[in-house]
Structure 1
């Protein structure tokens, strides 16, 4: 699932007429990088949620046929449902097996290699070194590969994770964030993580978008 429903307030005025996932870096919309990477990893079915200017996202991605996969859409009301509510609403489209979730406003060369979750694991989060805009990080990665919500050498959650539908057991829909669910599962020792050292950028402001564009145009990414 690609999360593409956010309004992108910090990206205004760029997002007044264009949804954030369709903003371009190196001549390509952000969301297209994810679609291509997921298709290359063998993903066959993709769900994209949308709200603000969502028809533009549908018009661009279409059925997904040109990338060799099938795309279904989860429409949300204006203002969206936040991350937790958006994923919960899309669960009927995502099925009963673990599924990838990736934020539509990050850029990365992560390869989405297959990961097998143990039966006692509800989620697996891809962690990155703390960017300058988030120096405190989010969670500690323990020596056993489990995430810990405690003091220590923290990493930042990249916005990429593999989730079991059971993480949302007990949720009732509507607008709600994902973070409390993850923190509860982490407290129970049911979330693993990995430290990704490849290329990753949170494209949260026009300045970071411009900087990423410049970097990619000067590389072979």
Structure 2
């Protein structure tokens, strides 16, 4: 991306792979937030202390500013707003509703080919993000359960789904923005091949290929492992 965001010695080493694995270590400021935002105001109970930057690809950190930079790079690549891409390429083909919204920040607008376009955020920490109902989430999860295929059409390549759900890099049990269970630390009582998308408030799309199962669980402070274990117990003979 030749927009200045990757010109520094630190950032010019960042790859797409680093971004999707949250190991980019990108440095800078975007939409009024710096990469090293820390403290109780931003993280609450998860506040963290300042630290030295590492080489891109060598250190994992869940970081909204870096994901926002990733989203901006994707916008420049597609040259159209990502909500439009998502709608055309995924949500309409899987029969999603028209109620979901992918909301940008009030100031996250850039010019692409002479036109102002919103750059959406990766999370909802500062008011943007994906607002979506449970049934649409389930459809998205089912697309991955079926290895990217919907009604006979391959919307996402099977190879991409495999890579996205395979652990790699220095991070925790993590794929391409999917939480994995390879080590059975996340959910010890369910298959190691299961994986999940997890958002604010334990908003979860959990996928269990071994049992041909997708579970959407929203806004609950309980124990996901316990819920998944009970579901499996209920459906198994």
* Fold agreement, TM-score > 0.5: no
TM-score scaled to structure 2, two decimals? 0.33
TM-score between both structures, scaled by the size of structure 1: 0.35
| Highest RCO, 1 vs 2 (Cα 8 Å, sep ≥ 6) | 1
Bigger Cα Rg: 2
Structure showing the higher strand proportion among its residues:
1
